[in-house]
C-alpha cells in the first residue's frame, strides 16, 4: 500500500486523526493524493481509486462522514473520461470537501449560537469540533456561558474539549461520565449539546459512547438535547445497519490491572433514538431529526460511485 494511504489509515485507526469532520477531510485528501500516482485507463484508475477508498473507509467504520467524503471524491473521478481529468477532479473535489465541511461547521455555529441563551449552562459529551464551534460563536456574540464537559471514557476526549473551551475563553468544568445524572438533577443545566458521527435514515444519532445515556437522562430531567450535524453526517442507511466500532481493551484498562480471565467490552459509539433529540442543528437551522434527514438525504451522493 502506498505510504501516504497507509499513514492516513494508521493515523485514523490510532485516533491521531479523530472526530468525524476531521477524519473525512483527511481521508478525502489522502484518496486524492493517491489518485495522482495511478496509471492506466480511466476505468483502471477508477477501479484502483475504489480499492483505496474502501481501505480508508474501513479505518473507522461508524462515522459516515468518512464514507461520504470519500464517495464525493470517487464520484468526481468516475465522472471523468480521461486520466488527467480524473486526477484534477480528485484534487479539486478533496479541496472542496475540506472547504464544505468547514463552511458547514460555520453555518451550524451561526444557527446554533442563536439558541444558546445568555448565561446558559451547557453540558457536552466527547469532543466535537462542530459543537465547540456553536459554543465559540455564542461566546463571540457576547453571551456569557458555562460549559460542563464529560470526561468521555475511555479515550478522555473531554480533556480536548476543556482545552478548546479554555482557549475560547469559555468558563468550563470537567466531570466524570457517571456524574451526568447528578449534574442534571442538581444544576440548572439549560441544554445538552453534542456532535454527530452519523445521522441515519430513521432519524437516529450515532455518536460517542455514552451519548444515548446522556440523552435519556436529559429527557428525564426535561433538559433539551441538541445534536450538531451537517450534511456530511447523513446516510441512507438505517441505524441497525451501521456497525458500532469496538476498540481495543487496552484503551479501557491496562492488562496488568485486569483480573485474569475477565473480558473488556469497548464499544465506542451508541445509537440515540430521535425521540430523545429536541433538534438537530444543521446548516439550514434547527430541525427535528426526521425533518433534517428528509432535507439532507436528497443531497447525499449515490452509492454508484463505489461500484
Q: Annotated catalytic, 126?
A: yes
Instruction: Mark residues 194-213: x for contact with ligand RUB by CB under 6 A, - for none.
Output: xxxx---------xx-----
Residue with Cβ nearer ligand RUB (30 or 194): 194
- Closest to ligand RUB by CB, 49 vs 205, is 205
Of 15-23, 30-38, 235-243, 288-296, which segment contacts ligand RUB by CB under 6 A?
Answer: 15-23
Min dist. Cβ of residue 15 to ligand RUB (A): 6
Q: From edge to edge, which strands make up the β-sheet containing 269-272?
A: 198-199, 205-208, 269-272
3-state secondary structure of 188: coil
- Residues in the interface with ligand RUB (CB under 6 A) total 18
Residues near 20 by Cβ (< 8 Å), separated by ≥ 6?
Answer: 63, 64, 65, 66, 195, 196, 197, 198, 232, 233
Quote the CA–CA distance of 174 and 34 in Å, as a whole number: 41
- Asked if 20 is part of the footprint of ligand RUB (rule: CB under 6 A), the reply reads yes
- List the helix and strand counts (H, then E) for the chain: 10, 10
Distances from the Cα of 231 to the Cα of 210, 268, 299, angstroms: 23, 22, 8
Q: Report in angstroms how near the CB of residue 206 gets to ligand RUB at its nearest.
A: 9
Judged by beta carbon, residue 30 or residue 77, the one nearer ligand RUB is 30
68 touching ligand RUB, by CB under 6 A: no
In Å, what is the CA distance from 120 to each residue of 41, 115, 169, 263? 58, 10, 15, 41
Is-contact 209 269, C-beta < 8 A? yes
Q: Which is nearer to ligand RUB, 20 or 147 (CB)?
A: 20
Instruction: Tell the smallest beta-carbon distance from residue 141 to ligand RUB (Å).
Output: 20
Q: Which residues bind ligand RUB (CB under 6 A)?
A: 18-21, 63, 126, 128-130, 155, 157, 194-197, 207-208, 268
Active site positions, annotated: 126, 197
Amino acid at each position: 500500500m502506498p505510504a501516504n494511504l497507509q499513514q492516513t489509515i494508521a493515523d485514523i485507526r490510532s485516533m491521531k486523526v479523530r472526530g468525524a469532520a476531521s477524519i473525512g477531510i483527511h481521508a478525502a485528501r489522502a484518496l486524492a493524493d493517491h489518485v495522482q500516482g495511478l496509471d492506466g485507463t480511466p476505468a483502471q484508475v477508477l477501479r484502483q481509486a475504489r480499492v483505496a477508498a474502501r481501505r480508508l473507509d474501513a479505518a473507522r467504520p461508524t462515522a459516515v462522514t468518512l464514507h461520504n467524503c470519500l464517495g464525493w471524491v470517487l464520484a468526481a473521478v468516475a465522472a471523468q473520461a480521461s486520466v488527467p481529468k480524473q486526477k484534477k477532479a480528485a484534487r479539486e473535489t478533496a479541496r472542496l470537501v475540506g472547504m464544505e465541511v468547514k463552511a458547514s461547521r460555520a453555518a451550524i455555529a451561526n444557527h446554533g449560537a442563536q439558541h444558546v441563551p445568555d448565561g446558559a449552562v451547557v453540558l457536552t459529551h466527547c469532543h466535537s469540533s462542530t459543537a465547540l464551534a456553536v459554543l465559540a460563536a455564542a461566546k463571540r456574540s457576547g453571551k456569557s456561558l458555562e460549559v460542563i464537559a464529560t470526561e468521555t471514557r475511555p479515550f478522555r476526549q473531554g480533556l480536548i474539549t476543556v482545552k478548546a473551551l479554555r482557549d475560547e475563553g469559555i468558563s468550563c468544568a470537567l466531570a466524570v461520565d457517571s456524574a451526568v445524572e447528578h449534574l442534571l438533577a442538581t444544576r440548572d443545566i439549560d441544554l445538552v449539546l453534542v456532535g454527530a458521527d452519523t445521522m441515519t435514515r430513521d432519524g437516529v444519532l450515532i455518536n460517542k459512547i455514552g451519548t444515548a445515556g446522556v440523552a435519556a437522562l436529559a429527557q428525564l430531567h426535561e433538559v433539551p438535547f441538541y445534536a450538531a450535524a451537517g450534511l456530511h453526517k447523513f446516510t441512507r442507511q438505517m441505524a441497525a445497519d451501521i456497525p458500532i466500532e469496538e476498540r481495543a481493551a487496552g484503551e479501557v484498562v491496562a492488562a496488568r490491572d485486569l483480573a485474569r480471565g475477565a473480558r473488556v467490552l469497548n464499544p465506542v459509539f451508541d445509537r440515540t433514538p430521535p425521540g430523545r433529540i429536541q433538534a438537530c442543528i444543521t446548516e439550514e437551522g434547527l430541525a427535528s431529526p426526521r425533518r433534517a434527514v428528509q432535507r439532507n438525504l436528497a443531497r447525499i451522493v449515490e452509492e454508484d460511485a463505489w461500484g
